[in-house]
Amino acid sequence: MKLDPKKILIKGPQLEKKVKFLADRISNDYKTKNPVLVGILKGSFIFLSDLVRYLKIPHEVDFIAVASYGASTYGSGVVRWLKDLSINIESRNVIIVEDIVDTGLTLKYIIENLWTRNPRSVSVVTLLDKKENRRVRIPIKYVGFTIPSYFVVGYGLDYNEQFRNLPYVIRIDNLVTL
Ligand code: IMP
Ligand code: MG
């Protein structure tokens, strides 16, 4: 598949500026809190790695990986847990790091699961927010960019595992996002 450069939504320098801005806000808000940043694999891996390089505070990094069940359960919000945390988050300040929030169902499931482990706090930073597709209310403390309901790839986001390496966010057309 060939991508059309005219469909670039967010260019590299804009991404860099925004990620630095988000890191500054987190550095202010979590100065003495030694937060655990929890990246949701795989999509968040590039965002997370850029974000932490701009953080000016002590912090720890961990990952979880989840997969949505097949189309038959689309919308149920039930996800398959593929990889769990290695850090014990009891009494810790957790910041979930997401690439993109769409319906919000995945994130809701993850937030509820993490709360059962008695963390002190759980907040969310997402690079992209497709707000108009939201089906459940979830609190998102830090949002990079709110975007229309396009399917996008690049900067960690994939289509069939391709395009994660692109240094920009670009729209793919003629796709159903389910
Ligand atoms: P949600 O449960 O509908 O919010 O789905 C969120 C997940 O779907 C994200 O973490 C992404 O992995 C994936 N996703 C949603 N929209 C896009 C997109 O436009 N491009 C690539 N992945 C997407
Ligand atoms: Mg994701």
Label each residue of 85-117 as H, E or C. CCCCCCCCEEEEEEEEECCCHHHHHHHHHHHCC
From CA 118, how far away is CA 81, in angstroms rounded?
Answer: 19
The pLDDT score that the predictor gives to residue 68 is 75
The pLDDT score that the predictor gives to residue 71 is 56
From CA 102, how far away is CA 40, in angstroms rounded?
Answer: 14
**Could you tell which of 157, 170, 175 is best to mutate to test the pocket of ligand 1, judged by most ligand atoms within 8 Å of the CB?**
157
The CB density around residue 2, as the number of other CB atoms within 10 Å, is 4
CB 25 within 8 A of CB 142: yes
CB 55 within 8 A of CB 27: yes
- Pocket (CB within 6 angstroms of ligand 1): 43, 98-107, 151-153, 157, 177
The Å distance, Cα 3 to ligand 1 centre, comes to 19
The pLDDT score that the predictor gives to residue 10 is 98
CB 89 within 8 A of CB 36: yes
Q: Give 49-78 as a DSSP string.
A: HHHHHH--S--EEEEEEEEE--GGGTTS--
> Considering 50, 62, 102, 129, which one is annotated as catalytic?
102
pLDDT tens by residue, the chain, 178 residues:
789 999 999 999 999 999 999 999 999 999 999 999 999 999 999 999 999 999 999 999 999 999 876 655 556 667 889 999 999 999 999 999 999 999 999 999 999 999 999 999 999 999 999 999 999 999 999 999 999 999 999 999 999 999 999 999 999 986 554 4
